[in-house]
Structure 1
């Protein structure tokens, strides 16, 4: 298993927007715990500072990430991290999280990385806490806000 972060371009954007966390393979603008990849890609074109990447297991796209500096919030943030329902619980999210945080930490101004998630998303909570993110005790857009100090 080799997890890679690849740019989203004209060769893979349609595959990316049809990834979904929905076990019935339905597609929504806002899924149970995350905005759709289509919404995220559109947001990244309107708001400055966001980086979007497709998450691959070798040559198979398994997920999507959006991260960067949130001008609205004034901090570095992993705004979106999703693994398609067909590939969940296989370690892809953990490996992608490791790659993303390493990429973000290359920025000399990045000493903390924030991530927020729905309090009902117990899998995300477990993953982020095991990875070293700590609860800030704050709420961002009705989600728990966690922080990883680099």
Structure 2
């Protein structure tokens, strides 16, 4: 089971030690330490550690406030190299969407990824994020509408999550 936890003094160092694969080094736009520093300077950015039980498997950061177009942004999502291709990315994305909707009232959620990051593109598209343009600097912007039922379950931004830890 995936659990999101706001990064604090107990896990910030472990977060900055997370690494992606060699192939991803050139397409990951910023290391975790960058996001932690940005969050220190801009309190609207919320850094999250991604845990599977007690193991730190990844890192994410999101904007707690909507932008001028009403979108809540997932600014960063990375899964450590030893945990990739096991369903953690999809499960973490679903939890981030749930968090943005339930805690921040998000209706539109946006993500951006580099055009050459096909793994991120596949993950976001399979989770209901549709291409919404580009930023002009080699980034694809995707978004999804997140209507919520009366019991708080997000319907349109998430595809069914495969079992975490499987090689689906």
TM-score (norm 1): 0.87
Task: Quote the Cα distance in structure 1 between the aligned partners of 2:26 and 2:19.
Answer: 8
Q: 8 Å contact 2:48–2:61 — kept in the other structure?
A: yes
Task: Quote the Cα distance in structure 2 between the aligned partners of 1:12 and 1:46.
Answer: 19
Partner of 1:6: 5
> 2:135 aligns to what SS in structure 1?
strand
Q: Is 2:30 the partner of 1:35?
A: yes
Task: Quote the Cα distance in structure 2 between the aligned partners of 1:47 and 1:21.
Answer: 25
Bigger strand fraction:
1
Spell out, residue by residue over 1:80-123, the C-alpha distance to the aligned partner (whole angstroms, 9 max, x if none).
00001111101000000000000001223x21000000111111
> 1:32 aligns to what SS in structure 2?
coil
Partner of 1:64: 59
Unaligned runs of 5+ residues in structure 2 are 147-168
Spell out, residue by residue over 1:33-57, the C-alpha distance to the aligned partner (whole angstroms, 9 max, x if none).
2311100000011123111110011
Partner of 1:122: 118
1:89 to 44, 65, 85: 85
Count residues with an aligned counterpart: 143
Q: 8 Å contact 1:17–1:37 — kept in the other structure?
A: yes
Task: Quote the Cα distance in structure 2 between the aligned partners of 1:129 and 1:111.
Answer: 18
Displaced runs of 4 or more, over 4 A = 70-74
TM-score (norm 2): 0.78
Q: 8 Å contact 2:70–2:108 — kept in the other structure?
A: no
Quote the RMSD (CA, aligned, Å): 2.0
Unaligned runs of 5+ residues in structure 1 are 25-29
Task: Quote the Cα distance in structure 2 between the aligned partners of 1:31 and 1:44.
Answer: 23
Task: Quote the Cα distance in structure 2 between the aligned partners of 1:118 and 1:91.
Answer: 21
Q: 8 Å contact 1:21–1:31 — kept in the other structure?
A: no
Alpha-carbon shift at residue 22 of structure 1 (Å) = 3.4
> 1:15 aligns to what SS in structure 2?
helix
1:138 to 131, 134, 139: 134
- 69-78 or 48-57: which moved more? 69-78
Task: Quote the Cα distance in structure 2 between the aligned partners of 1:72 and 1:140.
Answer: 18
